[in-house]
């Protein structure tokens, strides 16, 4: 198979990104994880240039077992 590709223009150049993974647990947040607590974490990271890419919920089935994994991305200059 032959694949033809045009050379990338400057604006199409691949960017470099870095990632940060953060785990939130109810027992570390003083009980039930509220929307305000999650919003605070998101805004703190956004102020540093991070953008939320994924939010994954895991756990449950018992008190203080809920875990939320946040994956942030930001472009590296």
pLDDT tens per residue, range 8-63: 566 556 789 999 999 887 655 566 777 888 898 899 999 999 999 999 988 766 65
Give pTM, 2 decimals: 0.68
Give buried/exposed letters for 40-77 (b at 16+ CB in 10 A, else e).
Answer: ebbeebeeeebeeeeeeeeeeeeeeebbbebebebeee
Strand partners, 17: 75
How crowded is residue 19: how many other Cβ atoms within 10 Å of its Cβ? Answer: 11
User: What is the predicted pLDDT for the residue at 3?
Assistant: 43
Pairing mode of beta strands 67-76, 51-58: antiparallel
């Amino acid at each position: 198979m032959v694949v033809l590709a045009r050379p990338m223009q400057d604006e199409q150049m691949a960017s470099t990104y870095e990632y940060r993974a953060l785990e939130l647990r109810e027992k570390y947040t003083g009980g039930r994880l509220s929307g305000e607590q999650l919003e605070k974490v998101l805004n703190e990271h956004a102020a540093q240039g991070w953008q939320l890419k994924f939010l994954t919920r895991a756990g449950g089935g018992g008190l203080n077992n809920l875990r939320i994994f946040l994956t942030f991305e930001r472009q590296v200059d």
